[in-house]
Amino acid sequence: MAEAVEYTLQQIGQHNNRNDAWMIIHGEVYDVTKYIQSHPGGMDVLIEAAGTDASEAFDNAGHSDDAFDLMKPLQIGKLRGYKKKKTKAVLAEPIPSSKRNDSTSKEQPTSKAIHCTILSLGTAALYYGLVTHGSNLEIISKASLLGQRLLTFGPKLTVASSTVSSISSKPSFFKGLLVGAGTLISIHTLLARKLLNLILQDQSPRYPFHIKVPKPAEFNLLQQRGWLDSSAASFPIPLAKKELVSPNVYRLTFNLPSSHPILGLPTGQHVAITAVINGETVTRSYTPTSNNADKGILELLIKVYPDGKMTNDYLAILNIGDEVHFRGPKGAMRYSQHLCKKVGMIAGGTGITPMYQIIRAICESDRDTTEISLIYANKTEKDILLRQELDTFARRYPNIFKVYYVLENHSPEWTFGSGFVTKDMMSERFPSPSEEGSKVMICGPPGMVTAAKKTLVSLGYKQPGASGKMSDEIFVF
């Protein structure tokens, strides 16, 4: 086009059905009417986005670069008044624990010492009144008043001051006050310092007690920004370790730059890998099994398929030291401990990776009491990925996490589910849709996902939209 035609939001909004579908993607206007039938993600996705700005949904879907080539013939103009946002890639580093502790240790002892001083003075005043003047009700009442004023540290300290003046006629009062206060200040300061040192020690266990009590919010490492930046281009990092964990599954570990040891991937989101394979640019999305707590690395669990362009023709043949280009974070899910109270999960094959990321975040937190029930389907027992880790979580946190395996083919000794995931399995193991704060997540082969959604809707869960939203009762990764 010599000069792009400009359209307003109102004009684009009129083209909002399957027979006349326009949409906006990053300021460009596309007529996708003829492409609806051919869309790999199904017609509903495009029909729902027709007449709207679909930029966010497009980015979250993790499209390959080939998609941009297919879109070019569909472009018909631009959005009037659209200005591309200028973004600057900033890789933020969290405050080192040593610095946080230093700054805290400088402030806390001061406030503790003041508190201990006030507490000691109040206690001494009460002690004097009771011990030295047990028979004098007037002195006891005045000492008690002074003690209360000091213990509460109220704004009207003038009352306490006048009380001291009235009692000061008794010389032994100040002697008892000073001796008692001095002794108590010494004891309280020593105890406060020891207690403060214990609190500030960074010795959090990797696996806390399974009986969890909700506590106030604190610094959350899993939500911190790091090496990844969604507003920046892809970054190359080298392969550090390659492990074959089953006949067709690899665990790949990549080393992050030493200057940015935190990955910066919010729980529930994924990364995209882009590579030129046999002259073709290919992009695929994967959910790491590592998180921000695994400093310095990015870990993937990938299953190699014979016809897989990315897995078979690229990732499976990587050598140690080879660099891979990553981009992200991406995805509509951004888990937090307040997302739901109970969650059911259905995973198939490598669809376990986003589930594992959330399961791990919940089980390794001593504040998250979300209850999880996972149904994990595979063809054979050797196809079960991350089984050791899942069984460990189930054993350590029986009140938090339960897992039920389902196999198509198994030995006679198999004690879990057989065949396919059924309606009865979901009804028995998942929270009721009538329970407030309940949700079900699905990730796996397309056939399994479609069947699971229909079954869950028949059980009473609300039908999700074409594009996944965190508020959906049924969320599909």
342-476 — its CATH code? 3.40.50.80
Burial (0-12, 13-18, 19+ Cβ within 10 Å), 350: buried
State the pLDDT confidence band at 173, using cuts at 50, 70 and 90: low
Helix (H) or strand (E) holding 120: helix 97-131
**Cβ contacts of residue 461 below 8 Å, gap of 6+?**
433, 440, 473, 474
Helix (H) or strand (E) holding 162: helix 157-167
Helix axes 137-152, 157-167, angle to 10 degrees: 150
| pLDDT digit string, tens, across residues 306-317 | 888 899 999 999
pLDDT of res. 108: 46
Percent of the chain past pLDDT 70, that is, above it, reads: 66
**Cβ contacts of residue 287 below 8 Å, gap of 6+?**
269, 270, 271, 353, 354, 357, 477
Number of CB atoms found within 10 A of residue 331's CB:
22
pLDDT of res. 2: 53
State the pLDDT confidence band at 370, using cuts at 50, 70 and 90: very high
**Cβ contacts of residue 293 below 8 Å, gap of 6+?**
221, 222, 364
| pLDDT digit string, tens, across residues 444-472 | 988 899 999 999 999 999 988 777 788 88
3-state DSSP helix/strand/coil % of the chain, to nearest 5: 40, 20, 40
Mode of pairing for the β-strands spanning 417-418 and 401-407: parallel
303 is in an annotated binding site: yes
404 is in an annotated binding site: no
151 is in an annotated binding site: no
Tokens describing residue 151: 């213990």
Query: Are both 221-330 and 342-476 of the same fold?
Result: no
Is the domain 6-79 a CATH 3.10.120.10 member? Answer: yes
| pLDDT digit string, tens, across residues 179-212 | 666 666 666 666 666 655 555 454 444 444 444 5
For the chain, domain boundaries: 6-79, 221-330, 342-476
149 is in an annotated binding site: no
Q: CA-CA-CA-CA torsion for 371, 377, 382, 383, nearest 10 degrees?
A: -100
State the pLDDT confidence band at 333, using cuts at 50, 70 and 90: confident
Active site residues: 270, 286-287, 443
- The pTM of this model reads 0.56
309 is in an annotated binding site: yes
221-330 — its CATH code? 2.40.30.10
